[in-house]
Amino acid sequence: MKEIVQLTISLQHSNPLIWRTILVKKETTFFELHQVIQIAMGWKNYHLFEFNLDGYRVGIIDENDQPGCRLVFDAIKTRLADIVSFEADSFLYNYDFGDGWLHEITIEQVIEKEEHIIYPTCVDGQLNCPPEDCGGLNGYYNMLPILQDKEHPEYKETKIWVGKKYNPESFNKSKINKRFGQMRKYISG
């Protein structure tokens, strides 16, 4: 039975495109998928998120909201299998409503589960994700030339802020999968 979904997550409007291809179970909740995306893309999970699937919104339900004031499905309870068609479908993931990191998630295929693979797993990707709170893609692309010019007046401050090891060209599938291994307690086996 086909129960594994191959998803490609692309950071919209990034150029060149920043993306990851991951494998998750159909039974993954949207909250779990959020956690998977955070690790796969390199985000730090500091901000709110929401998925949008053809008008269906999936996110965290605020207990203080009046009933029916927001048409949002609960990400903790809603599974991919509840909403997604799994046939060449795509949907959006918005992370950090201030910086507006909008991702397109494309369902590439649904495949058989392999016993030797632990899910979720990252199978491919390209480039490092922008650092949190850098001002969206415009802020990120304004920051890149500073990081490449050691003589720039803001180089030292920017390098300290993003971290000495930050490399925009870097993509490390093994590191992502190792981090997935550390989050398995949040995702049912």
Could you give the number of structural domains in the chain? 2
Write down the pLDDT at residue 54: 83
Which segment of 13-17, 88-92, 107-111 scores lowest on mean pLDDT?
88-92
Gap between the Cα atoms of 179 and 184, Å rounded: 9
pTM exceeding 0.75? yes
When comparing pLDDT for 18 and 60, which is higher? 18
Model pLDDT for residues 126-139, shown as the tens digit of each residue: 999 999 999 999 99
Strand runs labelled E in 55-150: 56-59, 72-74, 90-95, 101-112, 121-126
Write down the pLDDT at residue 135: 92
Model pLDDT for residues 64-105, shown as the tens digit of each residue: 655 555 568 999 999 999 888 777 689 999 999 999 999 999
Model pLDDT for residues 146-163, shown as the tens digit of each residue: 999 999 999 999 999 999
- 7, pLDDT greater than 60: yes
- Return the sign of the alpha-carbon dihedral for residues 149, 11, 51, 40: negative
Domain at 123, CATH number: 3.10.290.30
Assess whether 68 and 122 both reside in one domain: yes
Assess whether 42 and 123 both reside in one domain: yes
Assess whether 105 and 148 both reside in one domain: no
Q: The tokens of 128 are what?
A: 């490092």
Assess whether 156 and 88 both reside in one domain: no
Write down the pLDDT at residue 157: 94
Assess whether 65 and 146 both reside in one domain: no
Q: Which amino acid is at 100?
A: G
Domain extent for 105: 2-127+172-186
- What average pLDDT score do residues 31-54 get? 93
Assess whether 27 and 117 both reside in one domain: yes
Assess whether 146 and 54 both reside in one domain: no
- 189, pLDDT greater than 70: no
Query: CB under 8 Å to 139, separation ≥6 — which residues?
Result: 99, 130
Assess whether 152 and 108 both reside in one domain: no
- 178, pLDDT greater than 80: yes
Assess whether 17 and 66 both reside in one domain: yes
The b/e string for 15-40 (b: 16+ C-beta within 10 A; e otherwise) is: eeebbbbbbbbbebbbbbbbbbbbbb
> Among residues of the chain, what percentage have pLDDT more than 90?
76
Confidence of residue 186 (pLDDT cuts 50, 70, 90): very low
Write down the pLDDT at residue 62: 72
- The closest alpha carbon to 24, from 7, 11, 43, belongs to 7
Assess whether 12 and 52 both reside in one domain: yes
Write down the pLDDT at residue 184: 60
Write down the pLDDT at residue 188: 43
